[in-house]
A and B are shown apart, each in its own frame.
Chain A
Amino acid sequence: MSKFDAGMESMLDTFVFESTELLENLDDILMRTESSELTADDIAEIFRVMHTIKGSAAMMGLKNLSELAHAVEDIYFVVRENPELQFDRPKLYELSFKTSDYLKYDIENLADDSVELTDFSEFIPQLHEFAAYLTALSKGEEAAAPAAHHEIFSADEPEGVRTVKITFSDSCMMPSIRAMVLVNSVGADAEVLSTIPPDLEADSADDEIRAQGFIIKLSCDDIDPVIAQLKDGVDVETVEELKRPASQAPKAEPAKPALPAGSSEEGVTTFLIRFEEGCLMPSIRAMVLKNSLNSYGQIVKTVPDDLEKDSAEDEIAKNGFRVEIKTEHAEEALAMLKEGVNVLTADKLEAAKPEAEAEAKPAAEAPKAAQKKDAPAAGGAHGSGSMISVRLEKLDRLLDLVAEIVITESGVTSSPDLREISSGLDRFQKSARELKKLTDELQDVVMSIRMVPVQTAFSKMSRVVRDMNQTLGKNVDLVFVGADTEADKSVVDILGDPLMHIVRNAVDHGIEMPEERAAAGKTERATVTLSAGYESGEVVISCEDNGAGMDPKKLLAKAKKNGILTKPENEYTDSECYELIMSAGFSTNETVTQYSGRGVGMDVVRKNIEKVGGKMYIDSELGKGSKFTIRIPLSLSIIDVLGVEANGAELSVPISSVKEIFRAEPSQLIKDPDGTELVMLREKCLRVIRLADAFELTGERMPLEEGILLYCSEDGREAAIFADALTADQQVVVKPLSILLNKYDLKSKGLSGCSILADGSITLITDINELFIHNGVRQLEAAK
């Protein structure tokens, strides 16, 4: 069985996305405030997060999640109501972080039917307990009111109201949902005034309906069709109309609640609208009414003024919805308002007498003050400005389409048919140029959309380090460098897991315990530095710690013990020793902790990175620390390349690798005794690497002085690349080569990917660093 309600599949993505974002926001707040002050705004924001998750989880039918969120919401409710309260804050944070993790886990695995929803029946009581503790602290204020016992017939119920009681069959899973459906279905024949229980979204609604049945209060002319309709409802067992017992008949006309005063401005009519208790979203209803009122006159003011605010719901439920409108058709407008869905009462308020005004004022100002208080919180939540979120696949599709448009555009404007009409095309040519400019710009914009800063992947690590500091007591500082480096969204997403493993390893294995650090005479704070940057068309992410470092001998001994050595022990270089930790079945930590397991992590990390065409390097110095470097190609990101031709093949060299482009004079060229071609560039003697040879392209060998030489430098290696001709200087989107070509290992031979050019042709992109390594270019001593 699916985990969530059938019919909600279409909402799954949105739910997962929104909830994930909310939870990230929650984590941010928790991290930020844990060691500092928890302000009222933060509490309100956490409350909002939990409230939203509760609501949307309930909508999805994820009862466990909504109950969990509800329990946390209760806690923050108490905290919010008692800002002065002193309480056990570490406990609050522990519970909040735990909740955040639980929610994240379940939401992440929502689409995977093989992972069961977590049962929180043990955790939720803990939350309740804490909420009770908080409540007790706040001077024994009464806990949240228990499920109210609703009187079926209230004393002030007007006559003509019909009461219908519905019971559902025992097998009905979610009677509250069924009840909601019924309420909607009778809308055509009758007006639903209220229901018992009033709030069908409340978690208690299901139990209440099961225990007491579901009661609808209606106003209608003929009850029979309504009852017939209700009987047709799914899972409905009985439907009966209840009659008010004689003794409960209203004794007297109840005193009408005193209406507050309306606006005293001339020509302005003030309406006060109250919605039924069962009305789910009064602010939406209010908005609908406001829109319809627009046709009667000009709306001067509404209270609450911003219906989109979260607080608007509560305010409307409490004070009603107040509209001041300049209209000459006040009566018609009033009639319209009374007809509105879920409207309980709509009244025209008389102009205020001076003394009444004084009374009304503070009342009207109170909600304003409340809104002001809420405003900064809302601002914080939406601080990212006007953003929308789009599915990545849609962007991919858009990018492909734009590329197609660009190709088609050049196909149209340079169509061979046009050549036959050589004259009189001036206006066409002008428009064509305009079109080209626009399509180019379009392509630029679309490409830039996909770029996101690596910050998103980094900031998740703060949480990891925070948790580990808590349990391991290592007080590690996490430092970010270059977090604003942009990479393609998919690359940033891929980085998440490997980074997590590496950071965990750095904190758990790399950084020593404070006592050990002190013993080793290390005075600086334990630090893990995450940095990001670009290098030759790749994103380079590194994680450096100032911990104990790794002992190559120890690694080697361990590897030997575990039998994972592949060549004689004495042939291993230091860097090869470090690489051993990325082999399957390797762990140097004596005790296995919850954070880093038995060495199954690093080999998986390496595999995942290699899967996307990346590489991982490890460097370490005993006693000083270790550095893990990940290089991932800027898959699908834009790089500047020089197009070159070599024996007929179109190749592209990333401009970032090229230092200088020159033509060689015969006097500059040297051939050493082995036949290796060399070129003197000023005082430097460089090896010449013919692209045609490096890529085994057949054809005639062009004399060096006739072609073009690119002086390239990469990671301490330098050489001159020789090509026949320079063809273009362009921006391209790098696409990795198909995984079907993996067995040819083109990447390590110097071909990192390919790109589709504007005319639809394909160019191959070279990786100068790999090309140098593959062709045995030595690294300069200085760079080592």
Chain B
Amino acid sequence: MAAIGFDMGQLLTFDCGGQVYAFDLTDVTDIIEVPEITVLPMVADYILGIMNLRGKVVPVMEFAGRMGFPQPEYDEHSCIIVVDCEGALLGIKVPRVIDAEAYEKDQLSPSPVDNSCVRGYIELKERRVTVIDCVRLSEKNR
């Protein structure tokens, strides 16, 4: 892996329905197996419920559902990526995590859409990676 300088960042890439998405690695606190999830009533369908993360109660969101994609196949590789959304933890269920990859920050093309969950796009290993803004994804300030 290349040395990480000031203009370098790292992404945690994951697969959902054949597309590659990523979170900034600094936002990610845990990657865990899918635990028992307590269903929460009266919330959106893509909020799967809440889970116990070492004594903390953390809401879990299904990534595909949140983005409006059809439900992907979940198997034993499926996991929960726990991200820190400005102090609040959020679990995000994804079909499979790919890798942690370094990238140059100026290579990222920011999304021109306002208030989009997508922070930007970047070409990594000849695939297009969609970088997700986890705070927007969490709908925190709504």
Contact = CB atoms under 8 A, between A and B. Distances in A.
- Do A and B make up one complex? yes
Nearest to B43: A744
Interface string A743-762: 11010010100101000111
A756 B57 CA distance: 8
Interface in A760-777: 760-764
B81 to A, nearest CB: 15
Chain B CB count within 10 A is highest, among A401, A740, A749, A760, for: A740
B95 interface: no
Contact of B57 (A696, A735, A744): A735
B52 A738 contact: no
Given A738-B88, A739-B88, A740-B90, A696 B142 contact: no
A404 B55 contact: yes
Interface in B17-41: 36, 38-41
Contacts of A174: none
A738 B59 contact: yes
A762 B38 contact: yes
A764 B55 contact: no
Contacts, number: 72
Contact of A764 (B40, B59, B90): B40
A649 interface: yes
Most chain-A Cβ atoms within 10 A of its Cβ — which of B50, B55, B89, B139?
B55
A196 to B, nearest CB: 52
Contacts of B139: 740, 743
Contacts of B56: 400
Contacts of B108: none
Given A738-B89, A740-B88, A741-B59, A697 B41 contact: yes
Contacts of A760: 36, 52
A400 B55 contact: yes
Contact of A743 (B58, B89, B142): B142
Contacts of B140: 739-740
Given A403-B55, A738-B88, A740-B85, A696 B41 contact: yes
A735 B52 CA distance: 12
Contacts of A764: 38, 40-41
B41 A762 contact: no
A703 B56 CA distance: 37
Given A738-B57, A738-B58, A746 B52 contact: no
Contacts of B85: 740
A746 B57 contact: no
Contact of A400 (B38, B44, B47, B54): B54
A695 interface: yes
A746 B42 contact: yes
Interface in A716-738: 735, 737-738
B57 A754 contact: yes
Chain A interface, DSSP helix/strand/loop, else mixed: mixed
A406 B38 CA distance: 20
Give the interface centre of B36, B44, B52, B89 by most chain A CB atoms within 10 Å.
B52
A650 B38 CA distance: 9
A649 B41 CA distance: 9
A131 B41 CA distance: 68
B79 interface: no
Nearest to B61: A740
Contact of B50 (A399, A695, A738, A749): A738
A592 B38 CA distance: 52
A695 B38 CA distance: 14
B51 interface: yes
Contacts of B41: 649, 695-697, 751, 764
A216 B106 CA distance: 61
Interface residues of B, number: 26
A763 B40 CA distance: 10
Contact of A740 (B38, B52, B59): B59
Contacts of B50: 737-738, 754, 762
A712 B29 CA distance: 42
B138 interface: yes
B58 A696 contact: no
Contacts of B42: 695-696, 744, 746, 749, 751
A763 B44 CA distance: 19
A153 to B, nearest CB: 61
B90 to A, nearest CB: 6
Interface string B103-119: 00000000000000000
A656 B140 CA distance: 33
B10 to A, nearest CB: 24
A738 B50 CA distance: 9
B60 to A, nearest CB: 10
A737 B57 CA distance: 8
Interface string B124-142: 0000000000000011101
A400 B57 CA distance: 11
Contacts of B51: 762
A650 B90 CA distance: 22
A331 to B, nearest CB: 63
Contacts of A743: 139, 142
A762 B52 contact: yes
Nearest to A401: B55
Given A404-B55, A738-B50, A761-B52, A649 B39 contact: yes
Contacts of A737: 50, 57, 59
A740 B56 CA distance: 14
A516 B89 CA distance: 55
B105 to A, nearest CB: 27
A411 to B, nearest CB: 13
A403 B56 CA distance: 10
Contacts of A404: 54-55
A449 B71 CA distance: 46
Interface string A621-663: 0000000000000000000000000000110000000000000
A260 to B, nearest CB: 64
A404 B56 CA distance: 11
A603 B134 CA distance: 30
Contacts of B54: 400, 404
A743 B40 CA distance: 14
Contacts of A697: 41
Contacts of B58: 738
B136 to A, nearest CB: 12
A159 B44 CA distance: 90
A696 B39 CA distance: 12
Contacts of A399: 55
B142 A756 contact: no
Contacts of B44: 744
B44 to A, nearest CB: 8
B34 to A, nearest CB: 15
- Looking at B36, B41, B52, B59, which has the most chain A CB atoms within 10 Å of its CB? B41
A564 B10 CA distance: 48
A739 B56 CA distance: 13
Contacts of A401: 55
Given A695-B42, A740-B90, A746-B42, A761 B55 contact: no
22 contacts: A649-B39, A649-B41, A650-B38, A695-B41, A696-B41, A735-B57, A737-B50, A737-B57, A738-B50, A738-B58, A738-B90, A741-B40, A744-B42, A744-B43, A746-B42, A754-B38, A754-B57, A756-B52, A756-B57, A761-B36, A762-B52, A763-B38
Interface of A: 399-401, 403-404, 649-650, 695-697, 735, 737-741, 743-744, 746, 749, 751, 754, 756, 760-764
Give 6 nearest A-B pairs by CB, closest first: A400-B55, A695-B41, A762-B38, A744-B43, A738-B59, A743-B142
